[in-house]
Each structure stands twice: as C-alpha cells, then as structure tokens.
Amino acid sequence: MNICVIGSGYVGLVTGACFADFGVNVTCVDIDEKKIEGLNNGIMPIYEPGLATIVEKNHKQGRLTFTTNIETAIKDSLVIFIAVGTPYTDNGKADLSYVDEVAKDIGKYSNSYKVIVTKSTVPPGTGMRLKAIINKAQQDTKHPFDMVSNPEFLREGSAIEDFMRPNRVVVGGTSEQALAIMKDLYRPLYLLDTPFVMTNVETAETIKYASNAFLAMKISFINEVSNLCEKVGADVYYVARGMGLDKRIGPKFLHAGPGYGGSCFPKDTEAFLALAEENDVDFKLVRSTIEANNKQRKLAVEKILSTMGSPDGKLVAIAGLAFKPNTDDMRYAPSIDIINALQDMGARIRAYDPVAMEESKKVIRDVEYVDNAYDLAKGADALVVVTEWNQFRNMDLKKIKDLMNEPVLIDLRNVYAPESTRELGFKYASTGRL
Ligand code: NAD
C-alpha cells in the first residue's frame, strides 16, 4: 500500500516512520524545504528517542521517502494522513488554516479514490468541513474519497513505543471500504491485540480532546493538592502515591510541578473550552484546569522568590528547559515563563538542558548556556530544577553545593529527597513536599 503523511513534525514523522516499519510505502511531505532536505540527508529535525534509527533504516530500504512535492505524493497514495499543526488562535480556538490548506491541495490533486485521515487534533465537525473543502477544490472530474478521523495519542519522549504499542487506536468513519483499508494499515497492531475503538468521525475527534483535557485536569488537580499540602503539613508525594494505588485513579499524571506545558495540553484545553462555549456548554472543569495551570506557573515563580529572596543581580541556574524530559520541544514550556519573570526582576540566567538548548535559543533571550549540571551550578545563587531529566536525578549534590555561591535549591519537580538534601546544607524548597 502507498500512503503519504502531510506534515512531517513530531506526529507526522513518527507516524510515517512507524508505518514504513510495518512494511508500508510512505511518503512524508512538508512545506519546510530545509526540514525535507535535512531528512533526505539523514538529519533529524527533532529529538525523539529511537526515531533516527527507524527513519534511517526505512529510508535506506526505500520504504520511507521525503518530499516537498505534495501533488505527486497525493496522486501516488491510497491513504493520505493530515498531520499538520493546529495551534492556538487568539480566542483559544484551534487554528485550522494549515489543515484547510492541505484539504484544498488534496481536492486539487486527487486522481482516484482516496482515504483522507486526520491525525492532527481537530475539533469535532472538522472532518465534515474538510470534506466540503475537498469537494469544492476538486475540479472538473470528481474523484471519490472518504473521511476518517484517527487521532494520535503519542507522547513526545516515548513516541515510537506509544505508536508501536498504543493503549488503543481510535478510528472514526462510516465508509466500510475506508475502515477496511485502515484495519489493513494497522494490521500489525491488530495482531498485538491492541484495542480498537471504531466509531464515527465526530466521536473520534471528541475522544482526543476529552482525553487531553482529562489528563491536564489530573495534573492541575494534583498541583492544587500540592499547594494545600504546603499549608497543612502533608507531603504530596505520599498523597499522590496513596491516591494512585487506587486502580480507579491510577498513578499517572499525579506529579506535582510548575504546571503543564508542551504543544498539546495548553492549546487543546483552550480549544475544548472554546468549543464548549460555542455550543452553550458551561465546561467548568476545563476552565478551572486552565486557570489552575496558569496560576501554578505564577506560584512557581513566587516559590523561587520566597526561597532565594530578590533575584535582582543574582545568578539563577535553570536545570532543564524542555517542557518535559526526553524531548527538545519548547512549546509553552514552563521554563519560558519562569525565566522571563526572573529576568524582569533583574536576575542573570544560566541554563542547561541535555537536548533543548538549541530550541530554547529561538524563544528565550539573554541566557548563558552551559554543557553540564556542574558548570551550571558554578557560582550560582540558586539552582531551580524545572524539567526532571534523569541527568538531574543522578547529580552529586554535595559537589553541586560546593560549586554554588549560595546553596539554594528549588526543586519544582520533586526530584530530590527533601530531608537528605537539607542535611547536605541546602536551603531546599519542593512542590508540596515536607
Ligand atoms: P509540528 O509543528 O511539529 O509539525 C507540523 C508540520 O506540518 C511542520 O513541519 C510544518 O512545516 C508542516 N506543515 C504545515 N503546513 C503544511 C502544508 N500545507 N503542507 C505540508 N506540511 C505542512 O506539529 P506536531 O507536534 O507534529 O502536531 C501535529 C498535530 O498533531 C497537531 O494537531 C497536534 O495537536 C497533534 N498532536 C501532537 C502531538 C505531539 O505530542 N506533538 C501528539 C498528538 C497529537
């Protein structure tokens, strides 16, 4: 089967590479010429563990190709995945302009029956809208096509594993022919007994938003619990553990911190709320989730100030910049807000992240970057752990303390044991721990 994936970012590239690994012929398309040129020369546009190996292998074996030529890719493919971005607009709604552009191209270049699959996260109703756009863009000859929604649930940092062994695959559509083709495409996952949820397009689109909003709500919930823990002498680590062992709750997404970030939760919660408002549904929980998250970022800065005092003229060392470990993605990373706030108060910032420093340079100004945690600590007046990379868990804290100007450690991700860290002589603050 020949397929193409339009948009070769985090989702498109992983999707394309994994389907190629299943034995399908995949063309990955992007409008970014530099990205495609790089991919053709073995240069990965993103950091994602395991991705380079699988891309290189399938590219060499001829099953995975990269192009900017959308026309040929569409003409040669039975299945067309749309995996372009759907960022924020000012009113919180998803910006569907990239998706719409692709739909126009699909209509324009279609030459036979196609299955058009939205992998991008799009509000319910988008599938039908795209159908109308494609129909309108088809010129003299009308070629048949079917719309399918197949939202993606991969997590950056473990994207390959998530794609190859997903908790579930959601497929929305009504055409039997299209659904049979989708089943064929995902056959290797069927063999692994992966649960498939087959439903209509609108339901599939909604499952994605509801899932992300729920996970974001879980994070905001434990963050608010951590704020309460700090007032009542409770330890959020044990509260989360005690809650998470209840199978109805589960342990995941119960780690208190400086608030969620990344390319999905912030925009998807906003878009879900905007969708609810548009439909006269008062979605209080999603609204509160967003508000709690915005507040948590401010509280993280307040915690830094209350621990180190005024940062004016002081050197603050930031450990971790990416929105979470194992990715170089800086989109809506808490580090951005924290660094901007500290700089506004006169702090000098030094930072280290194992992979996100190049991306960080594009969005944060006036930061001194160093290559390891020990250079980070040298002469610093405070060290703030913003992203819980494993590298920071294994640091020699005694050495770190000796290198610092002031032994102030603000552990926003609860990486260290409070008691032993204090015993080393640190002035130590956590998120909701004793
Ligand atoms: P991204 O920004 O990394 O990649 C999007 C790519 O699309 C870019 O390379 C861009 O150049 C390309 N593009 C834009 N317009 C194009 C066009 N007309 N033709 C060809 N290429 C075009 O985005 P992403 O993180 O991969 O997200 C894509 C979608 O998947 C979004 O809707 C997102 O919400 C959703 N999603 C993302 C994740 C994630 O973890 N990143 C997980 C699940 C779902």
DSSP string for residues in 145-161: EEEEE------TTSHHH
Q: Are residues 24 and 162 in the same domain?
A: yes
Q: Concatenated DSSP letters for 81-144? A: EE-----B-TTS-B--HHHHHHHHHHHHH--S-EEEEE-S---TTHHHHHHHHHHHH--SSPPP
Model pLDDT for residues 27-40, shown as the tens digit of each residue: 999 999 999 999 99
Nearest atom of ligand 1 to the alpha carbon of 105: 18
Query: Closest Cα to residue 152, out of 47, 254, 10, 28?
Result: 10
Of the candidates 150, 165, 199, which is a domain's last residue?
199
> How confident is the model at residue 178, as a pLDDT?
98
> How confident is the model at residue 287, as a pLDDT?
98
- Residue whose CB lies within 8 A of the most ligand 1 atoms, among 13, 15, 30, 33, for a mutation test: 30
Q: Token digits for 328?
A: 């170089």
Nearest atom of ligand 1 to the alpha carbon of 98: 15
Helix axes 284-308, 334-344, angle to 10 degrees: 40
Local structure of 220: helix, strand or coil: helix
- Ligand 1 centroid distance, CA of 13 (Å): 9
Is it the case that residue 216 has pLDDT exceeding 80? yes
Asked if residue 204 is part of any domain, the answer here is: no
Nearest CA to ligand 1 atom 30: 120
Is it the case that residue 139 has pLDDT exceeding 90? no
Task: Say if residue 366 is exposed, middle or buried (CB neighbours under 10 Å; 0-12, 13-18, 19+).
Answer: exposed
> How confident is the model at residue 280, as a pLDDT?
98
- Domain count of the fold of the chain: 2
Model pLDDT for residues 407-428, shown as the tens digit of each residue: 999 999 999 999 999 999 999 9
Which residues are identified as catalytic? 264
Q: Which residue pairs, CB below 8 angstroms and at least 24 apart, start in 185-191?
A: 185/1, 185/3, 185/19, 185/22, 185/24, 185/79, 187/22, 188/22, 189/164
Asked if residue 217 is part of any domain, the answer here is: no
- Ligand 1 centroid distance, CA of 85 (Å): 3
- Residue whose CB lies within 8 A of the most ligand 1 atoms, among 72, 263, 324, 329, for a mutation test: 263
Tell me the mean pLDDT in the region 139-152: 93
Task: Say if residue 202 is exposed, middle or buried (CB neighbours under 10 Å; 0-12, 13-18, 19+).
Answer: middle
- Ligand 1 centroid distance, CA of 12 (Å): 7
Enumerate residues 6+ apart whose C-beta is below 8 A from 227: 296, 299, 432
The answer to whether 398 touches 332, Cβ cutoff 8 Å, is: no
Residues contacting ligand 1 via CB (< 6 Å): 6-12, 29-32, 35, 70, 83-86, 98, 101-102, 120-121, 152, 154, 156, 263-264
Tell me the mean pLDDT in the region 250-265: 97
Tell me the mean pLDDT in the region 10-21: 98
- Going across the sheet that includes 427-429, the strands are 367-369, 348-352, 315-319, 382-385, 408-411, 427-429
- Residue whose CB lies within 8 A of the most ligand 1 atoms, among 70, 84, 108, 330, for a mutation test: 84
> How confident is the model at residue 191, as a pLDDT?
84
Nearest atom of ligand 1 to the alpha carbon of 263: 41
Asked if residue 81 is part of any domain, the answer here is: yes
What does each C-alpha distance from 133 to 144, 276, 287 come to in angstroms? 14, 24, 32
Asked if residue 174 is part of any domain, the answer here is: yes
Is it the case that residue 192 has pLDDT exceeding 90? no
Q: Token digits for 403?
A: 């290198």
> How confident is the model at residue 140, as a pLDDT?
77
Q: Token digits for 24?
A: 């399908």
Of the candidates 151, 175, 199, which is a domain's last residue?
199
> How confident is the model at residue 45, as a pLDDT?
96
Nearest atom of ligand 1 to the alpha carbon of 155: 40
Asked if residue 385 is part of any domain, the answer here is: yes
Nearest CA to ligand 1 atom 28: 85
> How confident is the model at residue 90, as a pLDDT?
84
Cα angle 200-205-209, degrees, rounded to a multiple of 5 = 145
Nearest CA to ligand 1 atom 4: 9
- Ligand 1 centroid distance, CA of 87 (Å): 9
Tell me the mean pLDDT in the region 271-283: 97
- Ligand 1 centroid distance, CA of 351 (Å): 28
Nearest CA to ligand 1 atom 34: 121
Q: Token digits for 399?
A: 């050495």
Q: Are residues 9 and 144 in the same domain?
A: yes
Asked if residue 187 is part of any domain, the answer here is: yes
Q: Are residues 187 and 324 in the same domain?
A: no
Enumerate residues 6+ apart whose C-beta is below 8 A from 324: 156, 157, 261, 262, 387, 388
The answer to whether 378 touches 403, Cβ cutoff 8 Å, is: yes
> How confident is the model at residue 116, as a pLDDT?
98
The answer to whether 118 touches 12, Cβ cutoff 8 Å, is: no
Local structure of 252: helix, strand or coil: coil
Q: Are residues 18 and 155 in the same domain?
A: yes
pTM: predicted TM-score of the whole model, two decimal places: 0.96
Of the candidates 153, 184, 199, which is a domain's last residue?
199
- Ligand 1 centroid distance, CA of 76 (Å): 22
Q: Are residues 190 and 303 in the same domain?
A: no
Q: Which residue pairs, CB below 8 angstroms and at least 24 apart, start in 126-129?
A: 126/96, 126/99, 126/205, 127/172, 127/201, 127/202, 127/205, 128/201, 128/202, 129/96
Backbone angles phi, psi at 370, to 5 degrees: -125, 170
CATH number, domain at 310?
Answer: 3.40.50.720
Enumerate residues 6+ apart whose C-beta is below 8 A from 264: 121, 212
Is it the case that residue 50 has pLDDT exceeding 80? yes
pLDDT averaged over every residue in the chain: 97
Q: Are residues 184 and 321 in the same domain?
A: no
- Ligand 1 centroid distance, CA of 310 (Å): 40
Asked if residue 131 is part of any domain, the answer here is: yes
Nearest CA to ligand 1 atom 11: 32
Range of the domain at 401: 297-429
